[in-house]
Structure 1
Amino acid sequence: MQTAQLVLLVAAGCVAALMACSALVVRFKSPKPRAREESENYYLCIDEKCERQRLGRLSDEASVDLSIIVPAYNEAERLPVLLNDIREYVDARRQRGSFSYELVVMDDGSKDGTIDVALEFARIHGIRELKAVRHVVNRGKGGAVTQGMLCSVGRFVMFCDADGATRFSDIDALLARAQAVSGPVVAIGSRNNKALSGTVVERSHMRAFLQWGFHTYVTLLGVRGVRDTQCGFKLFSREAARRIFPNMHVERFIFDIEILLLARYQDISVVEVPVNWHEVAGSKMSIVRDSIQMALDLLAVRLNYMLGNWTIGSGH
């Protein structure tokens, strides 16, 4: 067999193997979100007259200035730190003028009484704006965020991690950048060291290495121009949220990438804003297992959009 024929045969074999692997990834790794249970259409609050109330809808008109979505899975110990940070921010913000908000804690099937901790905090501090939603079974962080966003009523909507790793008052910087943009916009917190002159970022060497590797992989798969895709501190104009979240498929850790892909596909502006961040003990992620899972999930997401298996609706 001539060298040229051998090269062609090997190339054909590689292409066939790549196509087969891609088909397997799409077949077995594509996320399949479950439908919302009837009980998940309601929230608990400290209003004695009506403790269980029906959630709002993202498609409705905004009724408050800001919706804060907090995905929480077994966060009974760490959640109060974030809730107190939010409470202090709201108190300070209201001293500057009128400010309305809702705080939606999405208890993603916790086993440690997370929802009870949230409601008790609300009772102690008189926070009637806190809405606690209980998922029947765990969806994953992305699923909890998406379900929270779909029921938000804010002019701006944001989500933040329950561990309180990001200083909540940094939301002012995200709001300022978002309000300076004409049209739908996503403002995302960034922990990138070179981008963060004047802010504080504390992370382990292992986390920094994994972030570098993941960023390289994300860039190779076509998500470019964002230095920190995974920071759990993101803000959306209501129009941007309406275009993005009804189209979401991913319910696990890689959901941030689908958000950015949907923004790019729909020409929604994305701005990065430096935030103060520190590593907090108690992460639910397994470094090895979840890194592999995220890599496969990201490939499945990219392939589904490239092949046209997933289409983007208007979201209205």
Structure 2
Amino acid sequence: MGVLLTTLEFLASFLLIFLLGFVSVIVLEAYRRRHNNAHVEAPAMFEDPESLKQVPCPDIVDPAEKYLSLIIPAYNEEYRLPGTLNETLNYLQQRAANDKSFSYEVVIVDDGSKDGTKRVAFDYVKKYGVDNVRVILLGKNHGKGEAIRKGMLHSRGELLLMLDADGATKVTDLEKLEKQIHAIASKDYHPGDSAAGEATFRISDIPIVAFGSRAHLEEKALATRKWYRNFLMKGFHLVVLLAAGPGIRDTQCGFKMFTRSAARKLFTNIRLKRWCFDVEIVFLCKWFGIPMLEISVNWSEIPGSKVNPLSIPNMLWELALMSVGYRTRIWKINS
């Protein structure tokens, strides 16, 4: 009898969570559609701090103008951002000096910071020029997912890399992701294919995503973390597996590279604004049949993480919304 009651209680809890998620998805989708219909956004603009002139933002549907775009979301990163930008721009400048065909841009998305992040970011625009370093100001805090989405939608690269402002992953590791994307694209490319668009090979036209991964460091992490953090991590991995399915062991590493074609498909559909947008990327990649590569990268834990135990309920709620939204087809996917 006790087992039966426990089972019934579990089923009742599951049903309640599903119903709450279902109602929430309907309400949020209705709000999103009403908001989109009621407000036509003005064209996004960059500001040139030297001339104080407005520079029109490109759109992800436009042809690529640069080879590589690096998108850095930043929320209250006044102190950690300079080290990351110095390392990143030194690498990019050196590579551009050695390869005249290499072009780049760094897009910093200030997600409503309350400290001096905006000032720091514009200092680098002044130093390197608005063609190479650009800043998007979101005004208020929306979440990492929304900051990355905005940066991706207004970037000019054939390849687009998202990386965290704390510099936890070495920027030179982007070459690992880049190399594997080129290898897969070369195999899939055949002159005249609609996927390529034209007889000349262009990496931007073939949808591929490369996930930087810390999965190879998991054994060491398990040995050094406290038991409850390992428990939460394992539990989160299980929920991610149920929500998005297998394929990527480390969905949460903030170091991912997209071809322009892949970014166009994914970031015009992304709805989750905070921590679990990475899981939504995996789900959408499977939906579109976009090849996903998982590549080990060097990673070190940097003090000042924004993730805390209070983030866990929000993550689980986002995963529940995603699962209900897509599986009930309330969340439409635009091709």
Which category of TM-score, normalised to the shorter sequence, fits these structures?
0.7 to 0.9
Match of 2:24 among 10, 23, 28: 28
Distance change (3 Å), C-alpha of 1:195 and 1:284: closer
Q: Distance in 1 between matches of 2:105 and 2:233?
A: 32
Distance apart, 1:177 and its partner CA = 0.8
Show the counterpart of 1:305.
326
Show the counterpart of 1:118.
121
Show the counterpart of 2:202.
none
Match of 1:229 among 251, 268, 291: 251
What aligned pairs does 1:177-192 form with structure 2 within 5 A after superposition? Answer: 177-181=180-184, 182=188, 183-192=206-215
CA contact (8 A) 2:244 2:279 kept: no
Match of 2:273 among 251, 259, 264: 251
Match of 1:205 among 225, 228, 232: 225
Q: What RMSD in Å do the two structures reach over aligned CA positions?
A: 3.0
CA contact (8 A) 1:203 1:278 kept: no
Distance change (3 Å), C-alpha of 1:45 and 1:103: farther
Q: Deviations over 1:14-47 (max 9, x none)?
A: 656533320202333786667699578112234x
SS at match of 1:74: coil
SS at match of 1:133: strand
What aligned pairs does 1:85-234 form with structure 2 within 5 A after superposition? Answer: 85-98=87-100, 99-124=102-127, 128-181=131-184, 182=188, 183-193=206-216, 205-206=225-226, 210-234=232-256
Q: Which moved more, 1:37-46 or 1:101-110?
A: 37-46
Q: Distance in 2 between matches of 1:58 and 1:202?
A: 40
Q: Distance in 2 between matches of 1:298 and 1:229?
A: 13
Q: Distance in 2 between matches of 1:57 and 1:242?
A: 9
What aligned pairs does 1:290-301 form with structure 2 within 5 A after superposition? Answer: 290-301=311-322
CA contact (8 A) 2:160 2:257 kept: yes
SS at match of 2:310: helix
Distance change (3 Å), C-alpha of 1:23 and 1:134: same
SS at match of 1:214: helix
Q: Distance in 1 between matches of 2:6 and 2:328?
A: 25
Q: Deviations over 1:185-234 (max 9, x none)?
A: 000100112699xxx98996145554333212211334212110000001
Q: Distance in 1 between matches of 2:232 and 2:320?
A: 17
CA contact (8 A) 2:244 2:280 kept: no
Distance apart, 1:153 and its partner CA = 1.2
Q: Which moved more, 1:205-214 or 1:300-309?
A: 205-214
Match of 2:214, as an amino acid?
R
Show the counterpart of 2:263.
241
Match of 2:70, as an amino acid?
I
Show the counterpart of 1:80.
82
Q: Distance in 1 between matches of 2:261 and 2:11?
A: 41
Q: Which moved more, 1:119-128 or 1:299-308?
A: 119-128
Q: Distance in 2 between matches of 1:63 and 1:91?
A: 17
Show the counterpart of 2:194.
none
CA contact (8 A) 2:176 2:295 kept: yes
Under a length normalisation based on structure 1, what TM-score does the superposition of the two structures give?
0.86
Distance apart, 1:179 and its partner CA = 1.1
Where structure 2 has 5 or more consecutive residues not aligned to the other structure, the ranges are 189-205
CA contact (8 A) 2:163 2:256 kept: yes
Where structure 1 has 5 or more consecutive residues not aligned to the other structure, the ranges are none
Distance apart, 1:91 and its partner CA = 2.1
CA contact (8 A) 1:42 1:52 kept: yes
